[in-house]
């Protein structure tokens, strides 16, 4: 976990794509903890995330952003290098950033995500859930204050998805996390702040009251998720 508190993280303005407005004027400020971004397909969620991360996109932000120097990224595909071992994969981004990776720390992180003893394995010997755990350890290795997650759990089976949500929640404690998801249950479980991007507008959604992450057996979670899904469908 970073020693210093999370600095102000904010993005505001308008997003345009090929001369048309993709997202109307908005102002999104992030604090420590989980913020979830929901919305129909094509509404611009990944584009917003890519603009925040400074990754290539044909869209433009007409506005301002304030982000920390180190940003962690985790997506649906684990972007594992097949010729590198699990340990080498965990340390790869640090190497590419020109820093000398701390191997002992990488091994500790693999243990933290439940992969003790897997450091010498190659990615093709791992299950999808295990590969996402490696991706989680790799993201943790960067000590980023801002973590951007683009549907990292969506391809997992329900049991592994729930486990990964809880593991990531625990491991990213103290950082600002922005999670793009299609899943209202996931957003309500994890999000202290929830936003819905639909019809070019970014709107705030009421989170569930009480401590996050909410237990899957919490009856108010199922009810709120059903209501939110109905709202999203109504706006599509």
Ligand X SMILES: Nc1ncnc2c1ncn2[C@@H]1O[C@H](COP(=O)(O)OP(=O)(O)OP(=O)(O)O)[C@@H](O)[C@H]1O
- Residue holding tokens 């929640």? 169
The Cα–Cα gap between 70 and 108 comes to: 21
Q: How far is the CB of 22 from ligand X (least distance, A)?
A: 6
Check binding of 47 to ligand X (CB under 6 A).
yes
Reference 107, options 122, 118, 98; nearest CA is 118
Q: Which is nearer to ligand X, 119 or 132 (CB)?
A: 132
Contact between 44 and ligand X per CB under 6 A: yes
Cα 140 from Cα 62, distance rounded (Å): 31
Q: Which of these ranges, 43-51, 85-93, 112-120, 207-215, lies near ligand X under the rule CB under 6 A? A: 43-51
Among 35, 46, 185, 198, binds ligand X (CB under 6 A): 46
Alpha helices in 38-150 (DSSP H): 45-53, 86-96, 103-112, 128-141
Say how many C-beta atoms besides its own lie within 10 A of residue 180's C-beta. 22
- What's the CA gap between 171 and 43, in Å, rounded? 29
Of 90 and 228, nearer to ligand X (C-beta) is 228
Whether residue 176 has a cis bond before it, omega within 30° of 0: no
- Cis omega (within 30 of 0) on the bond before 121? no
Contact pattern for ligand X over residues 11 through 40, marking x by CB under 6 A: ------x----x----------------x-
Among positions 11, 23, 45, 214, the unique one binding ligand X when judged by CB under 6 A:
45
Tell me whether residue 17 or residue 92 sits nearer to ligand X (CB atom). 17
Give the x-and-dash track for 51-80 against ligand X (CB under 6 A): -------x----------------------
- Tell me, by CB under 6 A, how many residues bind ligand X: 11
Q: Is 42 in the site for ligand X (CB under 6 A)?
A: yes
Other beta carbons within 10 angstroms of residue 165's beta carbon come to 23
Q: Quote the least distance from Cβ 60 to ligand X, whole Å.
A: 12
43 touches ligand X (CB under 6 A): yes
Q: What is the rounded CA–CA span in Å between residue 133 and residue 114?
A: 8
Footprint of ligand X (CB under 6 A): 17, 22, 39, 41-47, 58
């Amino acid at each position: 976990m970073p020693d210093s508190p999370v600095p102000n993280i904010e993005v505001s303005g308008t997003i345009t794509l090929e001369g048309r407005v993709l997202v109307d004027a908005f102002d999104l400020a992030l604090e420590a903890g989980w913020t979830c971004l929901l919305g129909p397909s094509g509404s611009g969620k990944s584009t917003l995330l890519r603009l925040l991360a400074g990754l290539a996109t044909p869209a433009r932000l007409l506005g301002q952003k304030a982000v920390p120097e180190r940003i962690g990224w985790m997506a649906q595909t684990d972007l594992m290098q097949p010729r590198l071992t699990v340990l080498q994969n965990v340390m790869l981004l640090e190497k590419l950033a020109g820093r000398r990776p701390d191997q002992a720390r990488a091994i500790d992180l693999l243990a933290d995500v439940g992969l003790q003893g897997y450091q010498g394995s190659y990615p093709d010997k791992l299950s999808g859930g295990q590969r996402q755990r490696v991706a989680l350890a790799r993201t943790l290795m960067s000590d980023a204050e801002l973590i951007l997650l683009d549907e990292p759990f969506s391809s997992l089976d329900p049991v592994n998805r729930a486990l990964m949500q809880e593991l990531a929640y625990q491991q990213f404690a103290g950082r600002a996390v922005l999670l793009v998801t299609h899943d209202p249950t996931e957003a309500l479980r994890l999000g202290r702040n929830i936003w819905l991007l639909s019809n070019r507008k970014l709107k705030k959604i009421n989170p569930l009251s009480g401590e996050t992450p909410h237990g899957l057996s919490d009856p108010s979670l199922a009810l709120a998720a059903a209501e939110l899904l109905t709202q999203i469908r109504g706006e599509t």
